[in-house]
Structure formats: structure tokens, C-alpha cells
Structure 1
Amino acid sequence: MSSTSQNGYERLLATPPSCEGGLVAAVDLDTDAPAQWSSGLCNCLSDTPLCCLTCWCPCITFGRIAETVDDGKTSCIASAGIHALLTYITGCGWIYSMAYRSKIRKQYMLGSSPFQDCLAHFCCERCALCQEYRELQIRGSTLSAAGDAREKNDGVDIVPVPTKQMTR
């Protein structure tokens, strides 16, 4: 085959797409299609400190998730306490955390079903909590390490400025 001849695929790739009347055809996007989770359920080890914290004390991760999803209306400590009591006394803390997974799905229009939420929290609650927290982090909705709410518009932490200066 000579270097000057092109097969059908090479000609197709070499020529730019043509547009009728000089207008580019609009791509039909389905805006009602559900979004996907940013990370998988089993990607726990992608954030090792979060994985370790959630493994040994899932109530803290859940408290952070609940406070973030409820926009600070629910206390992290109260949610963590309720989750701990439900988990360590009755073994049904996964039901409480499953409700927040559904809230996250609705808030960010994530694809899944309530049945899958139930399975995720019943079979592997710690992985589900890690996935939810990572989703909130990626979407910029998590609380900062100090517990201050992060500014929703530009992701900048609000730091209080001291009003009095120190004197000697």
C-alpha cells in the first residue's frame, strides 16, 4: 500500500465533519438522566484516613454527613450519638444512615434505587459512608476540619477576624 493512498477509515478521520447550512447539529442530551456517583462503593482506600476513621468509628463519619446534608441544622455530635446508640445497642444504625444516603441521592439527582441504598448500608455500611462522604467532598459540600461551614459559593473557609489586638 502506498503512502499516498488512504483507506476508508483514514479518509473519514482526515476530513472534518460537514454541517448543513453552516450550523452544527445540536446533540440531544437527556437532562432528566440521573447522575452517577463520583466514586465507587468499594473505593474506600482512595482516602485512607477517612477509611480508617469510618472503619473504627462510623458514627463520626455519619455525624459529619448528616450535618452537611442538613446544612448545619442537625448537630454532628447529636447525629453521631444517635447513630452510635442505634448501632451498638440495637444493631440497626444502618437504617438511620440509609435515610441520609437517600437524601444525598435526591439532593444531587444520583442514580440508584432505595433498594440499592438499603443493600449498600445493610451489607457494607462503612463503605457506603465513605462513598457518601467522598461525594460530598467532591461536590464541595463538606464541612472544614474545624467544623466551620464552608462557603457554598466559592469553597473558601470563613475565618473569624479578631477584633481586639494584643497589648503588652
Structure 2
Amino acid sequence: MTTVPEQDWHYSGTSWCSPLGTCLLSCCCPCVLYGRIRHRSKNAGNMVNYSTFNGDCLAFTGVSCLGVPFILSMISRGDMRAKYHLSGSTAKDCLCAFCCLHCDIAQQDKEVTYREAERRPLMTQPVTEAGMEYKPQEQQPQFHQG
């Protein structure tokens, strides 16, 4: 059985202020950002049929009302680590989500966007290298049969 080696996270947890939209969303409406993360992760990065106020967003809001929004972020982070073979541990997931929820979900949003784009097949025509293009054969003169 082969195991896939763990990779480092492409984005660090301290780079959460860029882009500005993600930063503001993580601070002002973390439930919306959480819903977007889960939708991207479940749908291979496809944002078709995405709704701002989806079930995951509402679940995050409900758990936030109970005062424990970090639980869903911690679970999401663990799911992301498993899916993309990222380094870390359950304890680190808990610490990241509990100590700086806004940084954590901003990091998750950028990471899932990056990883799903990386998995998506190349949608452009491949570039041909020199000597690799098709050249039709020259027509051979036809001989008169008689």
C-alpha cells in the first residue's frame, strides 16, 4: 500500500489579510466564508449553484449562537487536511480554530481555492513543441498505367 506524503499548507495562517475581501468576510461574516469553503470543498471548486446563505453557513451561525463556532472550523480543517494530504494534527486544528478563528477560516478559504484549482484539468489547448507539429506528406506523382 502506498501512502501519499503530507504537504505543507500553501498559505500560512498569518497571511489572512490578503485579499482584502477574504479578510473582511472572515471578520464580519465568518458564516458566509465558512459556507463558501464547504461548498468549494464538496463540489471540486465548482461554484455553480452556490448560495451565500447555504446550509453550512446556517450551521455555523447556529453553533456561533452557542458560543463555539471554532468546532465547525476545526472539523473543516481536519477534513481539508485529509482530502489534500496536508500536514498538521487534530490538536493543531483545534488550536488554530480556537485561538484565531478569523485567520483560520481565511486560510482555509484560500487553501481550498488553490487546491481545487490545482486539481482542475487544464482547460486550454496544449502548446506544441518544435518538431511536434503535423506536416502532411507530399503527394507522390501518380504513374500512368498502361
The TM-score with structure 2 as length reference comes to 0.70
User: How far did residue 118 of structure 1 move?
Assistant: 0.3
Mapping of residues 12-91 of structure 1, within 5 Å: 32-71=4-43, 77-87=54-64, 89-91=65-67
Unaligned runs of 5+ in 2: 125-146
Out of 63, 73, 97, the position equivalent to 1:121 is 97
Greater RCO, CA 8 A, separation 6+:
2
One-letter code aligned to 1:106: A
RMSD: 2.5
What fraction of aligned residue pairs are identical, expressed as a percent?
28
Unaligned runs of 5+ in 1: 1-30, 142-150, 157-168
Is the Cα–Cα contact under 8 Å of residues 140 and 155 in structure 1 kept in the other structure?
A: no
Q: Which stretches of structure 1, 4 residues or longer, exceed 6 Å deviation after superposition? A: none
User: How far did residue 66 of structure 1 move?
Assistant: 1.0
- Change in 2 beyond 3 A, CA 1:33/1:49: same
Over residues 52-74 of structure 1, what are the superposed CA-to-partner deviations in whole Å (9 max), with x where a residue is unaligned?
111101000000111122228x9
Specify the alignment match of 2:120 in structure 1: 152
User: How far did residue 155 of structure 1 move?
Assistant: 6.3
Matched residue pairs, number?
Answer: 116
Over residues 90-126 of structure 1, what are the superposed CA-to-partner deviations in whole Å (9 max), with x where a residue is unaligned?
1112101211110110111000010000000011111
